[in-house]
Amino acid sequence: MSSEFNLIDRFFVQNNVSRSDVDLGIGDDCALVSVPEGYQVAITTDTLAAGTHFLIDADPVKVGYKALASNLSDLAAMGAKPTWVSLALTLPKPDEKWLEGFCEGFFGLAKQHNVQLIGGDTTKGPLSITITVQGLVPTGEGLTRKGAKVGDDIYVTGFIGDSAAGLEILLDTNKQIKTQLEQELEHRHYYSNPKVQLAQKIRHLCHSALDISDGLISDLGHILKQSNVSAKIQVNALPISDELLAFYSHDIDKCLKTALVSGEEYELCFTAPKENREAIKQISFLLNHDVSIIGEISEGPFTTLDNNVKLRKDSILLDWVLYGYDHFRN
């Protein structure tokens, strides 16, 4: 059986990315990194607990990818460039097969973004993964939730709703054989693509941003609250994938409702003045990302989410009770 230190060396040192700004990596009491002049460090932490964020028997490759992707998505939402990551891993036992899969997913994505693992902790207990990722953003240029202005366009990247449909499929224990469509949606649930590069390129054109982790309605609510504004959402403009439409047999209302509340999308929601429309369109086109304008920031202090997110389409949609994911809501 491997010791803790053998495991760390075999799985976390040998697979690692190497960056020149890491002065001291894994192996000492702390890591030491150099921060270039004129930059701030953006820092974010996310936990994935077995049974809450993924099924206990989920493919570890997917879990490793998703754990890092959700953190990178937070950095993207700040407009930061990812640099360093630490990993606190709690394992029921030193399961080498599981660790191999986890590292494949984790380091596969870390390499794509040139993020170096600089430390962490390994403990015994119920399976849980806590990742802290750090990145660099030019001083004062970080994209926050509190900058939205009346008249701003509201954007989302990619398609929304697929992650919820994917989760529905993977939780359906009656489904032994999955169609290609179902497999694709399930894949999208695990393999989001953090919009790190796009966010850095459009950062200067935006007033506010966040990533969609709890559902558009819930997350956009944070921008509204912190910016002291309201929003009008054009529900018909929500970007729905052909796959979602097919999965819900072209029931548009079902698709739109799913898109409004689907969590773990890791798409960006951002606001920007209308005069930047063309520039944003061009940059997203060049980077091969879809972006959609889904509404407009309007006046008024935020009171409650349901009153202020005005759904314009029709009365059926207004009757929806819309909540994003909240771990502690009954």
Binding residues for Mg ion, rule: CB under 5 A, are 121
Choosing among Mg ion, ligand ADP, none, which partner's interface includes residue 12 (Cβ < 5 to 8 Å by kind)?
Answer: ligand ADP
The distance of closest approach from Cβ of residue 230 to ligand ADP in the complex, given in angstroms and rounded to an integer, is 44
Q: Is 160 helix (H, G, I), strand (E, B) or coil?
A: coil
Q: What six digits make up the tokens of 270? A: 């951002």
Whether 122 contacts 5, CB under 8 Å: no
Choosing among Mg ion, ligand ADP, none, which partner's interface includes residue 26 (Cβ < 5 to 8 Å by kind)?
Answer: ligand ADP
Choosing among ligand ADP, Mg ion, none, which partner's interface includes residue 248 (Cβ < 5 to 8 Å by kind)?
Answer: none
Q: Which amino acid is at 223?
A: I
Instruction: Using alpha carbons only, give the angle 176, 181, 184 rounded to the nearest 5 degrees.
Output: 95
User: Where on the chain is the footprint of ligand ADP (CB under 6 A)?
Assistant: 8, 12, 26-29, 87, 89, 117, 119-122
Strand runs (DSSP E) across 139-290, as ranges?
A: 153-157, 208-211, 230-233, 268-272
Residues 6+ apart with CB under 8 A from 301: 228, 230
The residue (of 89 and 143) whose beta carbon lies closer to Mg ion is 89
The residue (of 85 and 196) whose beta carbon lies closer to ligand ADP is 85
Q: Which amino acid is at 269?
A: C
- d(Cα 14, Cα 26) in Å, to the nearest integer? 11
Choosing among Mg ion, ligand ADP, none, which partner's interface includes residue 266 (Cβ < 5 to 8 Å by kind)?
Answer: none
Closest CB to Mg ion belongs to which residue? Answer: 121
Q: What six digits make up the tokens of 161? A: 């709703």
Tell whether 203 is in a known binding site.
Answer: no
Tell whether 153 is in a known binding site.
Answer: no
Tell whether 306 is in a known binding site.
Answer: no
The residue (of 8 and 268) whose beta carbon lies closer to ligand ADP is 8
The residue (of 4 and 23) whose beta carbon lies closer to Mg ion is 4
Tell whether 191 is in a known binding site.
Answer: no
Tell whether 162 is in a known binding site.
Answer: no
Residues 6+ apart with CB under 8 A from 184: 243
Whether 296 contacts 153, CB under 8 Å: yes
The distance of closest approach from Cβ of residue 8 to ligand ADP in the complex, given in angstroms and rounded to an integer, is 5
Residues in binding site for ATP: 120-121, 145, 213
